[in-house]
A and B are shown apart, each in its own frame.
Chain A
Amino acid sequence: MPENSPDTILRLTGLTKTYPGGLTAMDNVDLEIRKGEIFALLGPNGAGKTTLIGAVCGLVTPTSGTIKVFGEDIRNNWRGARARIGLVPQELSTDMFEKVIRSVSYSRGLFGLSPDKARIEEVLRSLSLWDKRDEQIRALSGGMKRRVLIAKAMAHEPDLLFLDEPTAGVDVELRKDMWRLIGQMRERGTTIILTTHYIEEAEEMADRVGIIRQGKILMVDDKDAMIQRLGTTEAVIELAKPMSALPPAIAHFPITLEKDGKELCYRGGDGSGKGRAEVAELTKALVRADIDYIGIDIRESSLEDIFVGLVENHADETTGEAA
């Protein structure tokens, strides 16, 4: 990616945060977000997702590194930058005694905009909050409270929106709703960075995915490319008769014997369909070699497997280092 691509909306360079206690929550992070995309930051608890967001939104002072938003170093024009950034925090923190509509117009005012009634109505309607506008926030359900936070973050029409676990503690129905909503925001041209624990969510919505663990970005890629590159096909072939060793006729396949020779396990492919074709080849080879089987279970790996694999591999490395 060229240094100052016009498509880049946010660029983090060498961003590091060491908290006063000495914990490095973000370790030399380089990240580049493109205009108009939905970027999902995936990582286990304590990976540093919220810290990263905080650094861009002015809640966390980075220890070192630079943040460039909208083509400018954030330190040179923090007012201009913040006016165009929206944040939906992870915690449900709002003034519980405030009415929904007042809370949203306050957000708009805080960002220096006129209390445009039509715009506020539009935001509330798009989040199905219009009927609840005169309710105190504390009277709303958790999912509705999160919508209020989203409404507050959208009130100033940000170009770059951070959603820190927008669907945490939200039921399936509402989560689907949220996805639709985020999709709509993207259609309007908003760049969205979201964090999530639900890989399903990243898989469903994101254009690109970044995987973070212990403050380090392990990998950033297009979601599809990532699945293709790291994806594997897994097939379990249940044999009619147990085998003690792999016959030479099929030994060139990436297979192992498992369950005391009762199952043949295939692990291969690349997420592009190559695996399925190879499994088909394998079954033909089995037939040719006169090896009978009674069942096949085949499955493509998901982003989840990739994620778990990556995070576990790194965990092994870390423990290895420590030992």
Chain B
Amino acid sequence: MIGFNIRSAWAIYTRELMRALRTAFQSILAPVLTTSLYFIVFGAAIGARMPDLGGVSYGAFIVPGLLLLTLLSESTSNASFGIYMPRFTGTIYELLSAPVGVAETLVGFVGAAATKSLILAAIILATATLFVDYTIAHPVFAIFYIMLVAASFSLFGFILGIWADSFEKLGIIPQLFLLPLTFLGGTFYSVDMLPSPWDTIALFNPIVYLVSGLRWTFYGSADVSIAVSLGLTLGFLAVCTGIIAFIFKTGWRLRN
């Protein structure tokens, strides 16, 4: 069946945001605190002894990377919890018995997760101004790119939340893969700074392309071409959407 029920999508979207509001304080305070710590340690303490990178001070250089670190982990965890919790508590029955398809569900759940990430991104960028001076070379592109990353990783988190059948599994992917890959993906350094062969090996890390892409929107230069970064991110978004469509079609982990 085709069709999209905007009211259903809106109901899910607003409820998910409301749910976040109940814990707004924690969900904003924690990332702001972590980011501030990173700026103090890497930006001020260590950054003061670091040379500029491509004409950008080290403190400013790490802004896009830190932003991405938060975007990836928050988008993934927001969306994964968003769908895992109803499965865990059984309230998913309502969604499954409603005249709601994959499109409404995604707009609702993933849209809300992505919205939360975007709000957080804005707060982090604002926090960053307290510690370092930075400029954004392509602001419109930056906003678009941030939205794209937030949406892709919310989709990814949604898949994770459907796949996971325990809280352990829910946490394992972000901690075991996402966090290390992000740290190794050039959050705090440029990939050219790595000695051979690590600079080549690093290119197998998909996060490198994300960090690089976002850094390009800030400073106009990056490790890899922006077209490659953009293409890969869009590809990731498409793959995640495809997987979710397939999950809904088959009812995998949703219907008995």
Contacts and interface: CB of A to CB of B under 8 A. Distances in A.
Q: How large is the interface on B (under 10, 10 to 19, 20 to 34, 35 or more residues)?
A: 20 to 34
Contact of B1 (A19, A78, A109): A78
Given A106-B15, A113-B7, A87 B93 contact: yes
Nearest to A85: B97
Contact of B98 (A51, A80, A82, A114): A82
B7 A109 contact: yes
A58 interface: yes
Q: Is chain B's interface secondary structure helix, strand, loop, or mixed overall?
A: helix
Nearest to A109: B11
B41 interface: no
A10 B151 CA distance: 41
Given A77-B1, A78-B1, A79-B3, A110 B95 contact: yes
B196 interface: no
Interface in B1-34: 1, 3, 5, 7-8, 10-12, 14-15, 18-19, 22
B1 A58 contact: no
B111 to A, nearest CB: 15
Nearest to A94: B91
Contact of A80 (B14, B19, B90, B99): B99
A107 B15 CA distance: 11
A89 interface: yes
B96 interface: yes
B101 to A, nearest CB: 7
A152 B256 CA distance: 23
A60 B100 CA distance: 16
Given A77-B1, A112-B7, A59 B99 contact: no
Interface string A111-134: 111100000000000000000000
B91 A111 contact: no
B166 interface: no
B3 A93 contact: no
Nearest to A80: B99
A59 B15 contact: no
A110 B1 contact: no
A187 B255 CA distance: 33
A60 B255 contact: yes
B99 A109 contact: no
A320 B73 CA distance: 59
A54 interface: yes
A80 B256 CA distance: 22
A89 B11 contact: no
B91 A95 contact: yes
A77 B3 CA distance: 11
Contacts of A45: none
A94 B85 CA distance: 11
A239 B93 CA distance: 60
Given A93-B93, A102-B18, A111 B255 contact: no
Given A93-B90, A152-B94, A61 B10 contact: no
B178 to A, nearest CB: 28
B251 interface: yes
A237 B117 CA distance: 80
A107 B97 contact: no
Contacts of B1: 77-79
Interface in B71-124: 89-91, 93-101
A177 B68 CA distance: 56
A102 B89 CA distance: 18
B129 to A, nearest CB: 35
B97 A79 contact: no
B255 A82 contact: no
A113 B11 CA distance: 10
Nearest to A108: B11
A110 B18 CA distance: 15
Contacts of A110: 8, 11-12, 94-95, 98, 100
A21 to B, nearest CB: 11
Q: Which of A51, A59, A85, A108 has the most CB of B within 10 A?
A: A59
A97 interface: yes
Given A97-B22, A107-B94, A78 B15 contact: no
A89 B7 CA distance: 23
B99 A83 contact: yes
Contacts of A152: 94
Contacts of B8: 109-112
Nearest to A83: B99
Interface in A12-31: 19
Given A77-B1, A79-B3, A59 B91 contact: no
6 contacts: A51-B256, A79-B3, A81-B99, A93-B91, A93-B93, A106-B15
Given A81-B99, A110-B100, A111-B99, 19 more contacts: A57-B93, A58-B96, A58-B97, A59-B255, A59-B256, A60-B255, A78-B99, A79-B1, A79-B3, A82-B98, A82-B99, A87-B94, A87-B97, A93-B91, A108-B11, A109-B10, A110-B11, A111-B8, A114-B7
Interface of B: 1, 3, 5, 7-8, 10-12, 14-15, 18-19, 22, 89-91, 93-101, 251, 255-256
The 8 A-B pairs with the shortest beta carbon distances in the complex, nearest first, are: A109-B11, A93-B90, A79-B99, A82-B99, A112-B5, A57-B97, A83-B99, A110-B98
